[in-house]
Structure 1
Amino acid sequence: MKMKQLYKYLFAAILILQLTACNNNTDAEQLFNETPTARLNQQKSELNDALLSSQYGWKAVYFTDNTVLGGYTHLFRFADDGTVQMASDFDADTKTYKSEYAIQVGSTVSLTFTTKNRIHLLSDSNNYPIPALRAKGYLGDFQFLYYGQENGEIIFKTNRNNRELRFVKATAEDWINLPQNLEMEKNVIGGEERPLFRLLETNDGTTVHKFDFSFTAVTRFANSNSIESGYSVSYNMGIGYTPTGIVVSPAVEVGGQKLSDFTYNDADGSFTATGTGGVSAVIKYTAKPLVLTDDYKFLLPGQPLAWFGFFVDDYTIDSPANSSLFYAELEKVNAALPAGQSIASIQIYGNHSIGTFIYYTFVGRGALQHHVTIEEDAVGKKMILKHKSWNGNTTVATPAFLASIDKYFMDPEGIYVKAESFRLFYSDPVYTFTSASSPFRMTTWKLQ
């Protein structure tokens, strides 16, 4: 009897333990289901409060991919009715536009701009700056995953490529001064009066290093490579504009310090970032190329035929290496020609069967050949072109409509010739011709 009672008690105890375990599992499941939801709702409320907390809204310099593109400043002013006022320096249109946004909850909390506004210009796959980004656009996003706050900044990661983006509190001046970013762009590109050559110079407090520097406006991207033998450091960076200078990403690291904010000096056209302990980085102009090449030798007497061509209706017209002065001179030629006529190409032939000459072709009129002789400046690593004849006639003067542009090829200081590292759609190598005494530079293909 006692044994039966013992079995009953044991059975009851086991049953109670099982029921308790089931209840505990149920509680755990409920806790597992409810905790993430509560957490996400808390984050949603936290983000909503933050977006509405700044009197003048928020500012973000959006580097969609700092390996190929620069930064685009966006200003946001959020309202509790789900609308947002937005402006950007993507292009010359810096006006403010109204659209809608939402704070969405999925696997995480995200800020999504749900109706079209300026931010969508960066995510439109049909809107791309260079052929390499065809069908990819500017690699931007309009949905940003919320990752918290730090030092008064809101931290997001982009949904498309998981890049960090920070919103900082905007000021009234940010909205007023946004158009000045596009004025600064002109200084980054460089005016016609500035030299064509630039360098990046770093100083870690004890040692100075120099790098060439080239900027492409359409992508807001700069390449910078060391010119020193045995020192292979490079700085390739996206550039964003500010009213007082530029911000770069990735930062230029010098002496263990990361320098990203550069201030513009209008007196000499330089941009300077200053650290501590004598650390600095300066982007500045130089009167001649940092690295001189022997590429001009293709055209010297006694060499095989060399043929270089610039064409108005092909990819050379869009080359980032063409200077503003070169474009201005093309416009002068067209303005001086009768209606229906325009310049079509400028080709340079070296050691052709009929000599060395600059070959100008046109729409609506016959071609012209400016025959020249070439002298070498071996020390300066450049060539000097001297007038010989027009179309073989030594008594004919330079046509008036070509005089302005042709004088740069006849620069008494000479012409630098350089093989560029980039290509212009086709596989043909790209060469530039640069006046030694002026900011005149023409891009060509080497066709022979």
Structure 2
Amino acid sequence: MKKILFLFALVTLSACQKNEPDLLLGKNASQRIAEANEQLKNTLSQAPNGWKMSYFPKKNSYGGFTFLMKFTTQGRVTMVSDYPNAATPQESSYQIQESQGPLLVFTTKNYIHNLLEPIAEERLYSGLEGEFQFAYMGREGDKLKFRTQRKNTQQFVYLEPATASEWGNIQNLNTSLNAIDHTYYLKVTSSEGTEDYFVKPRLRLFSFVSMQNEEKVSKAGLIPTADGFAFEPALQIGGKNFSKITAVPGTSPQNYTATNGDVTIELKHFSDPTLEFESQGNRITNGENVFILFGGEDFKNSPYMSPDFFRDFFRIDDQRKFLTYELLFNTDGDGPLLRIGYLLPGGGTNQAYFAYKINYEIRDKKIYLSFIEEYPDVDEFYLDPANEDLLELARERLTNFIALSSQGLYLWKTPTVILGPVSYIKSIAQPNYYFPALSM
């Protein structure tokens, strides 16, 4: 009988323990979850200058973005970002939800949702594959650790205390990144010598392509920082890894540098490629049978177009301008031609052309042009007596164009591609004349 009573007591005690599994220090699971959520909300709201998130939505595909956030305990968040046009503070709602632990969810639209917006021109219909839900994993020092939710882009991201100066500087971050366009190159110096790289940005993922060997490419995502740029993943170049590159004080436009062991990288701006690179006129072949110099607005504002060249070679008056100059190297037996195009009135894209037959040669990697004769096939537009002034002006402009090459035309193939590779051409005789050209 005593054994039966003893077994009954054990079963009763075990049953009591199983019926109260969630009790811990007098609190059940739902109470502990509510307290954890409330604690995270209080932590988020107590930072005097809010929090900073450096977020690479899909590493190895895009670069990174900075978000600054100030939270309230009432479920509101104010946000700015170095995403384009996101420097004005914007308020929205957030919640701390439960999903195997606290889940920070930005429930109404703010700048962080821009990373999900489609980018039609890039054919990115899922945007940059960003997220707006982040699982809280706990503290690491003064940082709050979160995990993203999508499996194919899962990663840890951190909120770290922001500063007042970061809120004031957020616009400058995007500006500094936008400045690194086709007028920058990367110079790598090591014990083995010097190698220059084209800089090709796309959605903050930067490709660095060797000018000596275009199959030699290094890639890294960039995110602007207060003193330069950070790379994620690290930039592997010259046999070394670089996690950041820092602004060089006193340089304008701004240059950047970093050193790892015997390798130094320099992100350098060039205002004049002729000061940095030798001419590449020897890379012109008959296969590239035409250079087209655009007088349209896209090229007018290019850093490769000198105001003097646009004024003296394209502009006619306040209403009229020549549209193109073309160097035709492959013309089915007619020989090389230099021709000028004028957009015919009445709309459309048809041009009236006037051309010279020319000789060209390449010496010291520069291009030299010389006149042979006028090309006999002249468009009727120019033969109309009403357009005689345009015909004479076309002759004058082509003659002056040939004169530009009296000491050679410097040519450098830039990293820019618009329908085809864009080259920078500059007169050695008259260096105030330089212009972009499209090779096809």
Residue 281 (1) aligns with residue 265 (2): yes
The aligned residue for residue 195 of structure 2 is 210
Q: 1:61 to 1:10 in 2, by over 3 A?
A: closer
Determine if contact 1:180/1:242 at 8 Å carries over to the other structure: no
Measured in 2, the distance between the counterparts of 1:407 and 1:239 equals: 44
* C-alpha deviation, 1:56, in angstroms: 0.9
User: Which of 131, 134, 156 is residue 144 of structure 1 equivalent to?
Assistant: 134
The aligned residue for residue 198 of structure 1 is 185
Q: Which amino acid aligns with 2:232?
A: S
The aligned residue for residue 62 of structure 1 is 55
Determine if contact 1:184/1:242 at 8 Å carries over to the other structure: no
Measured in 1, the distance between the counterparts of 2:280 and 2:216 equals: 19
Q: Deviations over 1:303-361 (max 9, x none)?
A: xx835668899xxx79xxx954349899878875665x777776653221333335636
Measured in 2, the distance between the counterparts of 1:329 and 1:369 equals: 22
User: Which of 235, 251, 260 is residue 218 of structure 2 equivalent to?
Assistant: 235
Measured in 1, the distance between the counterparts of 2:158 and 2:325 equals: 48
The aligned residue for residue 5 of structure 1 is none
Measured in 1, the distance between the counterparts of 2:83 and 2:358 equals: 47
The aligned residue for residue 284 of structure 2 is 296
Measured in 1, the distance between the counterparts of 2:60 and 2:369 equals: 40
User: Which of 89, 107, 111 is residue 96 of structure 1 equivalent to?
Assistant: 89
| Unpaired runs of at least 5, structure 2 | 379-388
Aligned residues: 405
Measured in 1, the distance between the counterparts of 2:30 and 2:306 equals: 60
Q: Which amino acid aligns with 1:97?
A: Q
Determine if contact 2:305/2:435 at 8 Å carries over to the other structure: yes
Q: Which amino acid aligns with 2:343?
A: F
The aligned residue for residue 427 of structure 1 is none
* C-alpha deviation, 1:74, in angstroms: 1.8
* C-alpha deviation, 1:57, in angstroms: 0.9
Determine if contact 2:291/2:437 at 8 Å carries over to the other structure: no
| Secondary structure of 2:127 counterpart | coil
* C-alpha deviation, 1:220, in angstroms: 2.6
| Secondary structure of 2:330 counterpart | strand
The aligned residue for residue 131 of structure 1 is 122
The aligned residue for residue 364 of structure 1 is 345
| Secondary structure of 2:285 counterpart | helix
Q: Deviations over 1:186-207 (max 9, x none)?
A: 53226xxxxx46124255xx56
Residue 219 (1) aligns with residue 203 (2): yes
The aligned residue for residue 165 of structure 1 is 157
Q: Which amino acid aligns with 2:110?
A: N
The aligned residue for residue 4 of structure 1 is none
User: Which of 417, 432, 436 is residue 441 of structure 1 equivalent to?
Assistant: 436
* C-alpha deviation, 1:83, in angstroms: 1.0
| Unpaired runs of at least 5, structure 1 | 1-7, 191-195, 300-304, 425-429
Q: Which amino acid aligns with 1:377?
A: I
The aligned residue for residue 350 of structure 1 is 329
The aligned residue for residue 143 of structure 2 is 153
Q: Which amino acid aligns with 1:189?
A: D
| Secondary structure of 2:179 counterpart | helix
Identity %: 19
Measured in 2, the distance between the counterparts of 1:62 and 1:271 equals: 25
Residue 247 (1) aligns with residue 230 (2): yes
Measured in 2, the distance between the counterparts of 1:140 and 1:202 equals: 36
Determine if contact 1:273/1:282 at 8 Å carries over to the other structure: yes
Q: 1:406 to 1:323 in 2, by over 3 A?
A: farther
Measured in 1, the distance between the counterparts of 2:252 and 2:367 equals: 29
Measured in 2, the distance between the counterparts of 1:401 and 1:142 equals: 62
The aligned residue for residue 256 of structure 2 is 272
| Secondary structure of 1:80 counterpart | coil
Measured in 2, the distance between the counterparts of 1:47 and 1:334 equals: 64
Q: Return 99-108 or 181-190, whichever deviates more.
A: 181-190
Residue 111 (1) aligns with residue 104 (2): yes
Measured in 2, the distance between the counterparts of 1:149 and 1:23 equals: 36
Structural mapping, 1:426-437, within 5 Å:
430-435=420-425
Q: Which amino acid aligns with 2:74?
A: D
Residue 178 (1) aligns with residue 170 (2): yes
Return the TM-score normalized by structure 2: 0.71
Measured in 2, the distance between the counterparts of 1:281 and 1:360 equals: 44
Q: 1:290 to 1:19 in 2, by over 3 A?
A: farther
Determine if contact 2:181/2:199 at 8 Å carries over to the other structure: no
Q: Deviations over 1:45-82 (max 9, x none)?
A: 44323312321111223222242322222211111111
* C-alpha deviation, 1:112, in angstroms: 1.5
Structural mapping, 1:3-42, within 5 Å:
26=19, 40-41=33-34
Q: Which amino acid aligns with 1:360?
A: G
The aligned residue for residue 244 of structure 2 is 260
| Secondary structure of 1:121 counterpart | helix
Measured in 2, the distance between the counterparts of 1:23 and 1:399 equals: 101
Q: 1:100 to 1:197 in 2, by over 3 A?
A: closer
Measured in 2, the distance between the counterparts of 1:77 and 1:266 equals: 34
Measured in 1, the distance between the counterparts of 2:5 and 2:43 equals: 56
Measured in 2, the distance between the counterparts of 1:342 and 1:164 equals: 56
Determine if contact 1:239/1:247 at 8 Å carries over to the other structure: yes
Determine if contact 1:342/1:363 at 8 Å carries over to the other structure: no
The aligned residue for residue 409 of structure 2 is 414
Determine if contact 1:420/1:431 at 8 Å carries over to the other structure: yes
Measured in 2, the distance between the counterparts of 1:107 and 1:401 equals: 78
* C-alpha deviation, 1:15, in angstroms: 6.3
Q: Deviations over 1:67-104 (max 9, x none)?
A: 23222222111111111111122224521111111112
* C-alpha deviation, 1:175, in angstroms: 1.5
Q: Which amino acid aligns with 2:185?
A: R
Measured in 2, the distance between the counterparts of 1:389 and 1:271 equals: 48
Structural mapping, 1:48-87, within 5 Å:
48-87=41-80
- RMSD (CA atoms): 4.7
* C-alpha deviation, 1:219, in angstroms: 1.8
